[in-house]
């Protein structure tokens, strides 16, 4: 009887061990993770600051109306003081004007349509649309911008912009990023993190030699080799990582929380049609080195923010 009890006890332990091994497909205790390469589907990317989901406000303000300030005030009242991103931005700006400016320009949410080495990022900010197409295999990059704000301050001919460029000729620099990777020390950390079900390596970027003239104190970059690096070109900051970047934490303050946190709401493997990868266009089509489009884009970037003013 005693031997029989020991046998069942040992069998139970074996069953528990096998069950745990089957359910825990992660490593470094990060929980279950997906192991299949992501070759086709959609990434719904969000943007956060100090725990505030900035995308909530982008999605719930109709910038084609003339009462955007009233819409914003109603949303802030509904969400409460802890979700008041306007007060947060003002507080950050009092200490670090550059950080506040970076928040203004990078407060976007984006849906990435991915098929192999081709990606179309359809982004929305406060009052504007920003689409970025990148075909890594054929060395094609395209940008489309449009303001959603009804304003006389932007001429009709400047409400929409199209740009085309060859990514290889840009030395792998995102045309809308001022991030200079040569100013930073890059360190691959020993830990891994679970980002939307995918195990990611974590890389730290800090200014070389403690350079105080670099506005970013630190970046944490989360990458997965299961994703093509082509998505990296459509992020607000281009980082020359071998794997696909799924999350970026940007620290512009001496704080334990990132000033900006780009991370996905959802990652959805699914079939992507050619139509879903087609970027909108308008005339004229500017070259990437034509400074006139850059100046015009500033008006589009700021068009929604200007409607919040008194």
DSSP line for 227-296: S-GGGGGGSSS----SSEEEEEEEE-SSSSS-SEEEEEEEEEE----TGGGPPP--SSEEETT-HHHHHH
Structure confidence by residue, pLDDT tens digits, 216-241: 889 999 999 999 998 988 887 788 89
Q: Of 144-153, 213-222, 278-287, where does mean pLDDT reach its minimum?
A: 213-222
DSSP line for 127-139: SEEEEEEEETTTT
Structure confidence by residue, pLDDT tens digits, 26-72: 455 888 999 999 999 999 999 999 999 999 999 999 999 999 999 99
What is the predicted pLDDT for the residue at 108? Answer: 92
More confident residue, 28 or 279: 279
Strand partners, 43: 112, 267
> What percent of the chain stands above pLDDT 70?
87
Check if the beta carbon of residue 63 is closer than 8 Å to that of residue 148: yes
What is the predicted pLDDT for the residue at 175? Answer: 58
What is the predicted pLDDT for the residue at 102? Answer: 82
Structure confidence by residue, pLDDT tens digits, 99-133: 888 888 888 999 999 999 999 999 999 999 999 99
Burial of 171 (0-12, 13-18, 19+ CB in 10 A): exposed
154 three-state secondary structure: coil
Q: Assign 20 a pLDDT band (cuts: 50, 70, 90).
A: very low
What is the predicted pLDDT for the residue at 44? Answer: 97
Kindly report the average pLDDT of the chain as a whole number.
Answer: 86
What is the predicted pLDDT for the residue at 189? Answer: 96
What is the predicted pLDDT for the residue at 237? Answer: 77
pLDDT at 287 over 70: yes
What is the predicted pLDDT for the residue at 174? Answer: 56
What is the predicted pLDDT for the residue at 39? Answer: 96
More confident residue, 177 or 93: 93
pLDDT at 1 over 70: no
Residue whose tokens read 């943007």:
47
What is the predicted pLDDT for the residue at 27? Answer: 52
Q: Assign 6 a pLDDT band (cuts: 50, 70, 90).
A: very low
pLDDT at 185 over 90: yes
Structure confidence by residue, pLDDT tens digits, 146-166: 999 988 889 999 999 999 999
What is the predicted pLDDT for the residue at 17? Answer: 36
pLDDT at 15 over 50: no
Strand partners, 220: 204, 249
The closest alpha carbon to 114, from 241, 236, 277, belongs to 277
What are the strands, taking DSSP E only, across the chain? 40-49, 52-53, 109-115, 118-124, 128-135, 140-147, 160-165, 184-195, 198-207, 218-224, 244-251, 260-269, 285-287
């Amino acid at each position: 009887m005693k031997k029989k009890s020991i046998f069942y006890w040992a069998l139970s332990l074996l069953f528990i061990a096998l069950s745990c091994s089957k359910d825990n497909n992660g490593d470094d205790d990060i929980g279950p993770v997906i192991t299949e390469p992501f070759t086709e589907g959609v990434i719904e990317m969000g943007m956060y600051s100090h725990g505030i989901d900035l995308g909530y406000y982008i999605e719930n303000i109709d910038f084609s109306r003339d009462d955007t300030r009233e819409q914003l005030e109603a949303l802030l009242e509904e969400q409460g003081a802890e979700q008041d991103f306007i007060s947060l931005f003002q507080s950050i700006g009092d200490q670090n004007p550059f950080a506040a400016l970076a928040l203004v320009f990078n407060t976007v949410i984006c849906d990435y349509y991915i098929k192999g080495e081709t990606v179309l990022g359809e982004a929305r900010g406060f009052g504007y649309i920003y689409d970025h197409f990148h075909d890594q295999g054929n060395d094609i990059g395209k940008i489309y911008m449009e303001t959603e704000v009804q304003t006389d301050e932007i001429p009709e001919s400047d409400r929409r912009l199209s740009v085309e460029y060859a990514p290889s000729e840009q030395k792998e620099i995102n045309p809308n990023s001022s991030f200079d990777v040569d100013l930073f020390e890059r360190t691959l950390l020993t830990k891994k993190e679970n980002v939307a079900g995918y195990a990611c390596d974590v890389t730290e970027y800090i200014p070389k030699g403690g350079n105080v003239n670099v506005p970013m104190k630190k970046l944490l970059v989360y990458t997965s080799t299961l994703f093509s690096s082509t998505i990296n070109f459509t992020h607000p900051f281009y980082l020359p990582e071998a794997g696909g970047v799924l999350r970026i934490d940007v620290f512009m303050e001496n704080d334990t929380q990132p000033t900006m946190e780009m991370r996905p709401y959802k990652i959805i493997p699914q079939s992507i049609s050619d139509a879903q990868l087609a970027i909108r266009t308008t005339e004229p089509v500017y070259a990437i080195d034509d400074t006139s489009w850059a100046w015009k884009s500033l008006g589009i970037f700021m068009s929604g923010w200007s409607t919040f003013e008194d």
